[in-house]
Chains A and B, each alone.
Chain A
Amino acid sequence: QKEVEQDPGPLSVPEGAIVSLNCTYSNSAFQYFMWYRQYSRKGPELLMYTYSSGNKEDGRFTAQVDKSSKYISLFIRDSQPSDSATYLCAMRGGGSYIPTFGRGTSLIVHP
């Protein structure tokens, strides 16, 4: 079992839908949680960064961390075709600054 599990999708939704992307993990030492967005043929770009548990909101994006369940989520409200990309979760902790990445979920938002 990988340390970080992420459903590869693809997840296809209509424009305007609320999208929920998720990762589960097994290492209880993880404290820093990130979401990256990667457009086709581009490098990953940092979307959200959260420390420890709780929620963080940035515009249409909300990152949620539930350390008791070892589960993190990224919610996208009012999804747009421009949100179509692969979303990678990443996390680190336990004294290591090297993150562990999920394999990414492909999201398709169709008009």
Chain B
Amino acid sequence: NAGVTQTPKFQVLKTGQSMTLQCAQDMNHNSMYWYRQDPGMGLRLIYYSASEGTTDKGEVPNGYNVSRLNKREFSLRLESAAPSQTSVYFCASSGETHGDTQYFGPGTRLTVL
């Protein structure tokens, strides 16, 4: 039981490049989330998906798109990366265990030059 997995672990991009961050969970959770974590800012919600086929914007969605590919997988895409998107990105999922409490992946550390 791997929980929540994320790929890649690290990535360096140049301004204007695009990339997709992958997330998968094996806990049969309905809900999945993408956060970014910056020093002094805490966790900020980018997008979330309440169930397969639905996605909604969070607190900081600009510059990002998401796809809920199936129940297990939720990807985050940066179409044209900017230095302001340098951050650590965490995927999380939640289900009925502990009343929808979130379980986090190990994170992707992204640097945009």
Contact = CB atoms under 8 A, between A and B. Distances in A.
A103 to B, nearest CB: 4
Nearest to B35: A101
A44 B101 contact: no
Interface string B1-31: 0001000000000000000000000000001
Nearest to A36: B104
A102 B43 CA distance: 8
Contacts, number: 49
Interface residues of B, number: 24
Contacts of B58: 98
Contact of B42 (A41, A42, A103): A103
Contacts of A104: 42
B93 to A, nearest CB: 12
Q: Contact size class for A?
A: 20 to 34
A44 B35 CA distance: 11
B48 interface: yes
Contacts of A54: none
Contacts of B105: 43
Nearest to B100: A97
Interface string A1-40: 0000000100000000000000000000000101010000
Contact of A32 (B4, B42, B101, B107): B101
B94 interface: yes
B98 A46 contact: yes
Contacts of A103: 40-42
A102 B42 contact: yes
A9 B58 CA distance: 27
A99 B35 CA distance: 12
Contact of A101 (B42, B99, B103): B42
5 contacts: A8-B40, A46-B102, A97-B94, A99-B102, A101-B42
Interface of B: 4, 31, 33, 40-43, 45, 48, 50, 58, 90, 94, 98-107, 109
Q: Can you list the 4 inter-chain pairs with the closest CB atoms, starting with the nearest?
A: A103-B42, A43-B104, A97-B100, A101-B43
